Structure 1
């Protein structure tokens, strides 16, 4: 008879990292009806910070105010990419390019369709189940479009919570226009309909939105309420326009006063003038590093043209000679041109507006003439000389060779101008298609993070803190960064909680929760009203087994941020671990009600319902988690276990195979699949899964136990011996392990070797194992 062994059920909890990253899977225990199940904890959603009155700047005016006096500039600017950067969908600005709007994404085995219904636009996802039925259907309205379409368009949905969510399918202008997955989505386990648009993303893609009270602090949830701007307006480069507009309408106002009331970038110093462009056109990399850190205490939209950018943002880069020096990404214009000799030797004379008119962008043949003329400002005599010498054709087209278009490494469906001005065009096909790269795990950057802009941080305590924080915030330089951050905090104890949170998170990310816990506590002491810090503390306390203290911290977080689903989710997990199932259900249901598109609370509800014997409710919860996130390995594993327990092996196999396709090196899922296969009497397949499970995790005692038992049942006692020995090594106190090894030794003829193990089993605490061991000892003539 196939044994009712331990199964591994996956429980969704965990913690978001400081920059919108999700934590790794953890485990806890749950008793189910016929087996002991170990619960796997999966990612939890992002947190909100405590509310405080938002500082809404009343110095801005409606964008169209500028058109009253600057009509011609207004009309041409509206046609630029910046002027068309963000808008609502309509028949006039088609969602795509009119081509087929259904796209099959093979890595995730999903179909994505954009469609129009009664004047509204939607994006839909479905998958095909065996038999042809559509499953895991998700449809969201397209409320906004981000991107002019010069290179790409992304489609956004505004949730009932007023978050903006990027939908998976994007549109790209190359090749006449086509559909493909948005950056970062070309993988089996993408973010689906859950990628939220943070304020730092909106900063460069739209005018400044109104921030709801309490949502302008670090780690707060980005919410977008009406009226939402549509497009980057004049005030992004010229600063707030209210005073300027009022003076312009005031009789007798002096022209000089009117001019001084608005920022004209051309009248700024060279550095401040360039920073007007740098604010959005400098990104050292979009891969985890970090590219930049916003200074704590600064709001997400506080920067004003004419003010030093370093007072708001610090930019970082990979260390030199680490294989990242020649990277070319979608927002690398400033980064690349700053490497050019033309820029370096110009002493500030070459700047963005030397070549670019932000108010009017030339196109086609006009663009070629325009940019050639910009080059001739410095190179006319040299160019004319080589033409006269017959060394260069008379036609120019300078950018074609010296600033060619290239495919970008991070947005692989787009090409952009390489602003690194080179003497000779790089060799090779610069437009060749490339696979999307995902820097996770083994291929992620692991090295020092260095300042980029400013290149040298000012000598101040905060500089040490931010540079040390940059080493750990994306896990780039953990081995040295943690020590640097701890020492910087020791030398210059900051008042702000965020630095302590950064250090605590770093300790937790390297598997040192005991060192993280007091740092989380210090962060809460620094800011006792921070729901984020309280959430982090509560999560850390739960994982350290201090459940009452965890619940207290989480209840305080919920009091500060009552609409934060993640807090209620974490509190539900805490109550579940305490065995307070009614409280766990209530809090998990609260999380679902606040944000029904989070898959983790659904899956955790399924686990609690299963513990309560409510299998239909558990199945429905697991299926809803999978509908929201079809690549949710833990939910597939849980549902596979449940279906196997009800005898529906066909469906159980389907979900286990999906889980293993997504996460092939998951030892616990392979073990669970082996259990299901054994129950269905597919013993050879079960053996294969157990062997694979142990290849991944040789310390998985249950897999050794089950594989040894399977081999014994097949009469292969000799083959079972190594697994019994490993089981005993891992769990020497287990009477069942000692009994198994003793039995196998006896079957292979090693009676003398069997007796000590059987005697240990007799001395154990398991009554059944004691009785069986005693009986076998008597059969061997060693009864006592």
Structure 2
């Protein structure tokens, strides 16, 4: 849209986003002169928080400099890129697509770069990413429509707690050091046999809120005090429940409801009319600023932190004050 299609770094450097015929482009301008232009190749991200864009250079992928940030309905510098100068040179390894697609065949070059087989890529995160290859499953149930028990497919019901946690931790435990090629891990296997965390497990309480929900969750008392709590205790991955604080809070109550008294373990006494049990999340898992992801918006001159919901369940007094003010 004219007037909404530029990201201005400063008065000398601008990236313009445009569509020519059926191709979307990002073009860098230095002092009004176009210096580099690349076409959108792959869109990464659901759009819930935002989207970033990759471009093809032969069979290798690189990140485009400008991304979209949903909360502000605006363009921003792409994650990993400076807000002060234009770059197009961030290479995308297979480990990036491992969390942002279902499958991609790749090979590492001697210079450290990655080449992909474009025809092999299964875009998006679909059922097979968690449940494993589905061809045999489909074939069996096509031939046996009367069968009610899922066959030839990975079911979370048959996994241990750590196996279920590992399934989520593959993409929700921050950057990991890979000891096996991308896409080697299959749900049900031990994640540490394929990649290891790049942080000290004794300092998980200090992790940034962006990207390591697993590390934060496993550091908190709620997790340590029960042998059953895992990601699926709160998240139903097959249902969109974003912003449904009541639904999430009911799951908190499944542990914190003592002798039929909801929220019995909370010592905070709210003002009249505010029902804490309807929203445990904004007090105990608030949105916090990320130190890893900072953004400059196209129409702003300042840099701001991305706000991410922490998974370290704790008492956050300032968050409680904000929640009460907002609820009045």
TM above 0.5, one fold? yes
Measure, in 2, the Cα distance between the counterparts of 1:245 and 1:216: 36
Q: 1:98 to 1:255 in 2, by over 3 A?
A: farther
1:371 matched to 2:257: no
Show the counterpart of 2:301. none
Of 87, 90, 113 in structure 1, the residue corresponding to residue 16 of structure 2 is 113
Asked if the contact 1:174/1:415 (under 8 Å) is kept, the reply is: no
Shift of 1:109: 4.2
Whole-angstrom CA distance in 1 between matches of 2:321 and 2:29: 36
Counterpart for residue 99 of structure 2: 204
Distance 1:98 1:357 in 2: 40
Question: Which of 40, 52, 57 in structure 2 is aligned with 1:142?
Answer: 40
Structure having the higher helix fraction is 1
Q: Which residue of 2 aligns with 1:243?
A: 136
User: Do the aligned residues in 1 keep the contact of 2:209 with 2:311 (CA within 8 Å)?
Assistant: no
Deviation at 1:195, TM superposition (A): 1.2
Report how far residue 208 of structure 1 moved: 0.3
Superposed CA deviations along residues 718-751 of structure 1, whole A, max 9, x for unmatched, are xxxxxxxxxxxxxxxxxxxxxxxxxxxxxxxxxx
Distance 1:301 1:99, change over 3 A: farther
* Aligned counterpart in structure 2 of residue 294 of structure 1, from 178, 189, 192: 178
Cα separation, partners in 2 of 1:355 and 1:301, compared to 1, 3 Å: same
Change (3 A) 1:386 1:315: closer
| CA distances 1:5-55 after superposition (whole Å, capped 9, x unpaired) | xxxxxxxxxxxxxxxxxxxxxxxxxxxxxxxxxxxxxxxxxxxxxxxxxxx
Give distance in 1, aligned partners of 2:235 and 2:205.
Answer: 26
Q: Secondary structure of 1:412's match?
A: strand
User: Tell me, which stretches of 5 or more residues in structure 2 are unaligned?
Assistant: 296-305, 323-328
* 1:292 to partner: Cα distance: 2.4
Answer 1 or 2: which has greater strand percent.
Answer: 2
Runs (4+) of structure 1 moved beyond 6 Å?
427-430
Contact 1:162 1:225 in 2 (8 A): yes
Counterparts of 2:183 and 2:66 in 1: how far apart (Å)? 28
Preserved CA contact (<8 Å) 1:183 1:410: no
The alpha-carbon deviation at position 116 of structure 1 amounts to: 1.0
Aligned to 2:5: 101
Q: Call closer, same or farther: CA 1:223–1:314 in 2, change over 3 Å.
A: same
- Which TM-score applies when normalising by structure 2? 0.83
Deviation at 1:383, TM superposition (A): 3.6
Report the aligned-residue RMSD: 3.0
Q: What is the correspondence of 1:447-596 to structure 2 with a 5 Å cutoff? A: none
Contact 1:197 1:222 (C-alpha < 8 Å) held by counterparts: no
Following superposition, the deviation at residue 170 of structure 1 comes to 1.0
Q: Deviations over 1:579-637 (max 9, x none)?
A: xxxxxxxxxxxxxxxxxxxxxxxxxxxxxxxxxxxxxxxxxxxxxxxxxxxxxxxxxxx
TM-score w.r.t. the length of structure 1 is: 0.36
Q: Which residue pairs with 2:170 in the alignment? A: 279
What is the CA-CA distance between 1:407 and the residue it aligns to?
2.0
Q: Secondary structure of 1:336's match?
A: helix
> How many Å separate the matches in 1 of 2:152 and 2:3?
48
CA 1:172–1:351 in structure 2 vs 1: closer, same or farther (change >3 Å)? same
Q: 1:218 to 1:316 in 2, by over 3 A?
A: farther
Superposition map of 1:64-213 within 5 A: 100-106=4-10, 109-128=12-31, 134-135=32-33, 137-159=35-57, 161-175=58-72, 177-186=73-82, 188=84, 192-211=87-106
Summarize deviations over 1:282-336 as a string: whole Å, max 9, x none: 11xxxxxxx42211xx331111111111221122314857xx8523242121111
CA distance in 2, matches of 1:369, 1:139: 47
Q: Where in structure 2 are the equivalents of 1:314-333 lying within 5 Å? A: 314-318=196-200, 325-333=205-213
Contact residue 130 and residue 167 of structure 2 kept, 8 A: yes
Q: Are the counterparts in 1 of residues 55 and 61 from structure 2 also a CA contact under 8 Å? A: yes
User: Which one has the largest radius of gyration?
Assistant: 1
In the alignment, does 2:313 pair up with 1:421?
Answer: yes
Deviation (angstroms), 1:174: 2.0
Shift, 1:266, TM fit: 2.5
> Are 1:337 and 1:343, in contact at CA under 8 Å, matched by a contact in 2?
yes
- Structure 1 residue ranges without an equivalent (≥5): 1-96, 129-133, 284-290, 431-784
1:391 counterpart residue number: 269
- Post-superposition shift, 1:206? 0.9
User: Is 2:123 aligned against 1:222?
Assistant: no
Give the secondary-structure state (helix, strand or coil) at the position aligned to 1:328: coil
